[in-house]
Amino acid sequence: METANDSAEALRRQILETEDELKRLKDQLSKVEEKTALEQDGPVTQSKWPLSAEEYQRYGRQMIVPNIGIQGQLRLKSASVLLVGAGGLGCPASVYLAGAGVGTIGIVDGDVVETSNLHRQILHNTSSVGMKKVDSVISYLKSLNSQIKYTAHATHLTPENAAEIVSSYDLVLDCTDHPTSRYLISDTCVLLQKPLVSASALKTEGQLIVLNCPPLPSGDEKGGPCYRCVFPKPPPAESVVSCGDGGIIGPVVGVMGVMQALEAIKVITEGRLGGDLMRAEQRSNTMLLFAANGNPQFRSLKMRGRNPKCLACSANAAMTLETLKAMDYAFFCGVAAPVSILGPEMRIEAREYEGMRLEGRQHLLVDVRDKVQFDICSIDGSLNVPFSTFQGNRALVQAGECPSWLSMTLSPDAPIYVVCRLGNDSQVVAKKLQDSGLDKNGTREIRDIKGGLRAWKQQVDSSWPEY
């Protein structure tokens, strides 16, 4: 006689058999569907089309260019690019990289947006003044292409953080404006084997070079030269002029930033990044020079390959990621503290000078800015003798003669005051004038206005134009 336990066991066996049959039927149905799909449309998989429908529409115009194609677009999508600097170069470069579909874009910059940036740093606007530059740029880029990953590094690149930041990216764009940062970025890219696109712009001219491309290990002569190969020694510190001092036309820096984006796209789509190095050919090393007023405006100079004695990329290079952290790039480039070559007795505060001027005491005020700056604004009664005039002592007393710019009607003991924009060049000139003998063995007072015309605005005339 069948017991309850026997009935339960029989029921369990029946359920298991039913489940096995259902699984068999599901597998059979799946094979039939797969076979039908193969006969009709080919395999049905998620990778049938490597890009989304929107990506085909968005990037279609560049994908049909023979040098790009679908393979180039996929390389762009998988690439990560770091831009060091979110200013005049970084703005146009980043917008074209985002438009082209670079998968990941990182931006390093520790500055905030200022009104003086707006004429050339085109991704910032009036409402973003005071905002972090990286946040301002990324806000714009997201509105252009939200499919990309953006990473903000709201800091300045330093020897301590450079390797950590750069290591996460395939390619680096140097969009900075000083030799200290250029050497740091290049050294970091050499050590981490990252190609580098470097550009600079000042006044009406610019230059562009692609460095460390292909990014082969130090000592491999097939690798591209680094910044130290091209410029083994930094320029004299006194010759380094920033956009704030030398000026810049917006479209000039814009042209160079756009060219950086173009070279970056070429490096990526040609397969010159780390994973594609075996397929990459050694590129021709050239420097592109741009002169807005030149004829022709563009010139290309052929450069040598890696310098066999380079401190960074030669076989004998001793630089490592650890020694990089201890590098003093400011010292290497000769950057010192603000000029301080005059004692306090040879300097005068702007308010003190104004008080003396209002008393009507005879004196001479020499403004050593360039004429173009002097024409923008000047203190009444000042004489413009550009700083360049004093180079080589051409404007100083020679063999007891009076310099041409010094009026013969000025009393021999009348004080001479020197002013510039920030109070640096004025110190140099005041010291030269004193050393040349114009101080009449201490009987004539020669002093500079401390803090220059910036101090004049703060202490005397708040309406003074700040440019």
Identify the three-state secondary structure at position 352: helix
Q: Which among 312, 315, 329 is positioned nearest to 230, based on CA atoms?
A: 312
Name the class of domain 344-459. alpha beta
pLDDT at position 288 is: 97
Using the 8-state DSSP alphabet, how is residue 178 labeled?
A: S
Q: In what order do the strands lie in the sheet with 104-108?
A: 149-153, 104-108, 80-84, 171-174, 196-202, 205-211, 286-291, 298-302
The residues of the chain that CATH labels 3.40.250.10 are: 344-459
One-letter identity of residue 36: T
Instruction: Establish whether 402 is an annotated binding residue.
Output: no
The residues of the chain that CATH labels 3.40.50.720 are: 53-332
pLDDT tens, residue by residue, 388-401: 888 765 545 454 56
The one catalytic residue among 91, 175, 333, 420? 420
How far from the centroid of its chain's Cα atoms is residue 383's Cα?
A: 37
Instruction: Establish whether 88 is an annotated binding residue.
Output: yes
Instruction: Establish whether 441 is an annotated binding residue.
Output: no
What is the chain's pLDDT, residue by residue, as a tens digit (467 residues)?
556 566 666 656 666 566 666 566 556 555 545 454 444 444 444 558 899 999 999 999 999 999 999 999 999 999 999 999 999 999 999 999 999 999 999 999 999 999 999 999 999 999 999 999 999 999 999 999 999 999 999 999 999 999 999 999 999 999 998 999 999 999 999 999 999 999 999 999 999 999 999 999 999 999 999 999 999 999 887 667 777 778 899 999 999 999 999 999 999 999 888 645 544 455 678 999 999 999 999 999 999 999 999 999 999 998 999 999 999 998 888 765 566 789 899 999 999 999 999 998 899 999 999 999 999 999 999 999 999 888 765 545 454 567 888 877 788 889 999 999 999 899 999 999 988 888 888 789 999 999 999 999 999 999 999 88
Q: Are 176 and 201 in contact (CB under 8 A)?
A: no
Q: Which residues pair with 289 in a beta bridge?
A: 207, 299
Alpha-carbon distance 404 to 410, whole Å?
A: 13
Instruction: Establish whether 133 is an annotated binding residue.
Output: yes
Instruction: Establish whether 313 is an annotated binding residue.
Output: yes
Instruction: Establish whether 156 is an annotated binding residue.
Output: no
pLDDT tens, residue by residue, 21-63: 656 655 655 554 545 444 444 444 455 889 999 999 999 999 9
Instruction: Establish whether 177 is an annotated binding residue.
Output: yes
pLDDT at position 41 is: 45
Q: Phi, psi at residue 276, to the nearest 5°?
A: -115, 15
pLDDT tens, residue by residue, 308-340: 999 999 999 989 999 999 999 988 887 655 667
pLDDT tens, residue by residue, 246-277: 889 999 999 999 999 999 999 999 988 864 55
Instruction: Establish whether 424 is an annotated binding residue.
Output: no
- Distance between the two ends of the chain, CA-based, in angstroms? 108
The one catalytic residue among 189, 213, 243, 377? 243
This prediction has a pTM of 0.79
pLDDT tens, residue by residue, 271-289: 888 645 544 455 678 999 9
Q: Are 85 and 109 in contact (CB under 8 A)?
A: yes
Identify the three-state secondary structure at position 14: helix
Alpha-carbon distance 147 to 140, whole Å?
A: 13
Q: What radius of gyration do the chain's Cα atoms show?
A: 33
Q: Are 451 and 423 in contact (CB under 8 A)?
A: yes
Structural fold of domain 53-332: Rossmann fold (3.40.50)
State how far the alpha carbon of 85 is from the alpha carbons of 198, 319, 446, in Å.
11, 25, 41
Q: Is 213 noted as a catalytic residue in this protein? A: no
Q: Is 420 noted as a catalytic residue in this protein? A: yes
Alpha-carbon distance 440 to 290, whole Å?
A: 48
